[in-house]
Amino acid sequence: MNYFIIGFYALLIGASSLAAYYQKRTPFVLLFSLTLVSFVMGIVGGESMLWAVTLLAGMIAFSAGVSYSFREFLVLILPRDLAKEMRTAPLTAGFGLFVIFTYAISGIFAPIIAPFGEAEVISSAFAPADENMLLGADQLGRDMFSRIIYGARNTVGLALLATILAFAMGATAGLYAATKGGKLDQLLGRIVDVIMSIPSLIFSLLLLSIFGTNTATLIIVIAIIYAPRVFRLARSVGGNVVVMDYIEAAKLRGEGTWYLIRKEILPNSSAPLIAEFGLEFCFVFLLVAGLSFLGLGIQPPTADWGSMVRENATLISFGEITPLIPAGAIALLTVAVNFVVDWMLYRSSGLKE
């Protein structure tokens, strides 16, 4: 028994007693289950496990704090009606927005933030971290930290471009099919069915093996594979709008199909489409990361998170966490986007039960 263990349990038990005394149900359940879990963890894993629990709890508390202050900050600077929405947002959404904001900053200002270039060899292979290199060097002696920062620009940028392209194709075709109906609608529907019945990773591997792996093909292939999802949603949402009276009125006024889609249908089906954009981005991003991990995505020497994981994977067997950092960066962004989408879906669907 040393001071750390005594202090650890004293703090937890004291805090849960306080919560119980003031009849705070939620904090009490949380704190007390944490105490029970750390009893088990402490017996199984000893002091190091308790340190891990403390670290984890500290990280969660820290990110909760950051999310809270970021949400309050947004409430203050946003215009009034948006601020009202923000105020009721859950902390997870605040966290998601904060992470997205951070990634955007590091992606846009990558050359200013990163201390070295993305392809610049500055030391020996797998050199450990020092004051020059925050995270050490990769398999060729390039600075890991700089490559992570540049990765935010390359990987996320590519996924974003592919998503936008998929969205433009899918939504346009979907809304057009909903407005026009008839033979074209049927034809598009069948094409979409076929594309969706092939698993996306397998389909993209097939297409990439044929067309080769340069950035432009990558974007187009991914956009074609993911456009059908958007098409289906856009068509079903658009289908509900098309039967409204004001569409009939616009048609009688003699407006063209393009005008109907742009001015009448799109504004009235934007909420589900925006949420879908977030989800779609997650899928595309994971596919891009997976393809790069397999060596078929963005080609070296461009810094890219998926291929960085693969290139440094051997370090895992020495107990180093280096390959987990780019992988974690991918996971963190997807989680963040999902948190935000979750909140938006909850808001628009009114799932209250």
Partner 1 sequence: MGDILNIVLKRLGLGLVTLLVISIIIFGAVELLPGDIAQAVLGQGATEENLAALREQLGLNRAAPIRYFEWLGNAVTGDFGRSLVSQTPVSEAIFTRFGNTLFLALYAAIIAVPVAIFLGVLVALYRNTVFDRVANVVTLTSISSPEFFLGYVLILFLAVKGGYFPAIAKIDDGMSLVDKLDRTFLPALTMVLVVVAHMMRMTRASIINLLASPYVEMARLKGVPAWKVIVKHTLPNAWAPVINVVALNLAYLVTGVVLVEVVFVYPGIGQLLVDAVTKRDFPVVQACCLIFAATFILLNLAADVGSILTNPRLRHPK
Residues 286-305 that bind partner 1 (CB under 8 A): 286, 289-290, 293-296
The encoded tokens of residue 54 equal 């403390």
Q: How many residues bind partner 1 (CB under 8 A)?
A: 48
CB nearer to partner 1: pick between 123 and 213: 213
Can residue 205 be called a binding residue for partner 1 (CB under 8 A)?
yes
Burial 109-141 (b: 16+ CB within 10 A, else e): ebeeebebbbeeebbeebbeeeeebebbbbeeb
Q: How many CA atoms are closer than 13 Å to the CA of 181, on its beta-carbon side?
A: 6
Can residue 103 be called a binding residue for partner 1 (CB under 8 A)?
no
- Minimum distance, C-beta of residue 118 to partner 1, in the bound complex (Å): 21
- Minimum distance, C-beta of residue 240 to partner 1, in the bound complex (Å): 19
Of 22-30, 102-110, 111-119, 230-238: span binding partner 1 (CB under 8 A): 22-30
- Helix or strand or coil: residue 137? strand
Of 78-86, 167-175, 180-188, 312-320: span binding partner 1 (CB under 8 A): 312-320
Mention every residue, 6+ apart, whose C-beta is less than 8 A from residue 13: 35
156, 166, 188, 208: residue in contact with partner 1 (rule CB under 8 A): 208
Residues 24-63 that bind partner 1 (CB under 8 A): 26, 29-30
- Minimum distance, C-beta of residue 218 to partner 1, in the bound complex (Å): 13
- Helix or strand or coil: residue 143? strand
State how far the Cα of 305 lies from the Cα of 330, in Å rounded to an integer.
7
Of 73-81, 102-110, 241-249, 334-342: span binding partner 1 (CB under 8 A): 334-342
Q: Do residues 227 and 235 lie in contact, with contact meaning Cβ atoms separated by under 8 Å? A: no
CB nearer to partner 1: pick between 247 and 332: 332
- Minimum distance, C-beta of residue 131 to partner 1, in the bound complex (Å): 26
x/- mask, partner 1, residues 140-179, rule CB under 8 A, reads ----------------------------------------
Q: Do residues 44 and 53 lie in contact, with contact meaning Cβ atoms separated by under 8 Å? A: no
Mention every residue, 6+ apart, whose C-beta is less than 8 A from residue 223: 162, 163, 165, 166, 169
The burial class, CB within 10 Å (0-12 / 13-18 / 19+), for 207 is middle
Can residue 327 be called a binding residue for partner 1 (CB under 8 A)?
yes
- Helix or strand or coil: residue 142? strand
State how far the Cα of 56 lies from the Cα of 54, in Å rounded to an integer.
5
Residues that bind partner 1 (CB under 8 A): 26, 29-30, 92, 193-194, 197-199, 201-203, 205-210, 282, 286, 289-290, 293-296, 306, 309, 313, 316-319, 321, 323-324, 327-328, 330-331, 334-335, 337-339, 342, 351, 353
